[in-house]
Amino acid sequence: MALPRTTLEQWAVLAAVVDQGGYAQAAQRLHRSQTAVSYSIARLQESLEVPLLAIEGRKAVLTPHGRTLLRRARSLLRDIDTLERLAGSLKQGWEPQLGLVVDAAFPRSRLLRIMAELQQLCPDTELQLSDAVLSGAEEAITDTRADVVVTSRVPSGFLGEFLAEIEFVAVARPDHALFGLEHALTADDVQRHVQVVVRDSGTRQPRDDGWLASDRRCTVGSLEAALATVAAGLGFAWLPQHLIADALQQGSLRSLPLAIGATRTVPLHLVLVRPELAGPAARAAIECFQRHVPAGAMSAGAVSAGAVSGPASS
């Protein structure tokens, strides 16, 4: 077999120029001089005898041939990244870092028990935990920004294992005007009042699941903030039952008497983002989540990509 005329490094430089929008930006990103970046692209195009980039205004854009070739090259770059990461994992044994992204609806007390167990199992691994709302968990999977993700939806191309269903309950403070209506509440009734919703932590395709078609809403950054806002009498919301159990028992919140839809359920799924790279810490995390679910919650088994959906965290 003949030796390749191009290198992965050249293709990585081309990808950086496209992703960053120009030679200068790519040079800054790659910590190289702009001359070195330009030279790498020039050599790549000379070797292929195909124009890959064109300058439109101040921005470098792919030619049709460049778009086709870079698409294939990106898969090679991902493969070499996987190979190098795997080599590092084999060398180090336990991963130096473990990224966990967990849907904010997952019970906090259970999550803390899992984290405590992981600290005991892999004391030399730095645990990096992030909350996610709605599409934020999906983006963490598709962007491979985490090793283990708990999500309400499994993106296409990935596999997830059912963990549990989280029940959301429509609630408001006992003195809320909705409790003054002498009939089972309808969608029209509640749309006249402010609904508290939690902002989607995703950026590319944020979802508005779980809120009613009304402009009267108050958007907050977390479920805890939503609870505080509802408790202050500033609106109503669907909140996780495990989060509001004490408030309901104490009477500081009441369930809204909706004719239909007073409760909703959100299925949560566990995703090992890159199984081919998973080290002992990632696999320990999967086992910990599986152990800390209610009895019988695993009965739904594994689900394929894109097979699940559910209402929002608000």
Quickly list H helices, 95-154. 108-121, 135-142
User: Residue-wise over 104-122: b if at least 16 C-beta within 10 A, else e?
Assistant: bbbbbebbeebeebbeeeb
Q: Which two tokens stand for residue 10?
A: 């050249």
Instruction: Say how far apart CA 85 and CA 279 lie, in whole Å.
Output: 10
pLDDT recorded at residue 122: 86
Of the candidates 50, 87, 5, 36, which has an alpha carbon nearest to the alpha carbon of residue 16?
36
Q: How far apart are CA 72 and CA 14, in angstroms?
A: 12
Give the CATH number of domain 8-91. Answer: 1.10.10.10
Enumerate the domain spans of the chain: 8-91, 96-314
What's the pLDDT tens digit per position in 40-75? 999 999 999 999 998 887 777 899 999 999 999 998
State CA 257 to chain mean position distance.
Answer: 33
pLDDT of amino acid 296: 44
Q: What are the E-state strand segments in 29-146?
A: 53-56, 59-62, 97-103, 126-132
3-state secondary structure of 185: strand
pLDDT for position 88: 67
96-314 has which fold?
D-Maltodextrin-Binding Protein; domain 2 (3.40.190)
Task: Look at the pTM and tell me if it is higher than 0.75.
Answer: no
Helix, coil or strand: residue 190: helix
Class of residue 213 by CB neighbours under 10 A (exposed 0-12, middle 13-18, buried 19+): exposed
CA dihedral over 220, 226, 231, 237, signed as positive or negative: positive
Q: What is the pLDDT of residues 247-297, one digit of tens each?
A: 999 999 999 999 999 999 999 999 999 998 888 999 999 999 998 875 444
218 phi, psi to nearest 5 deg? -120, 120
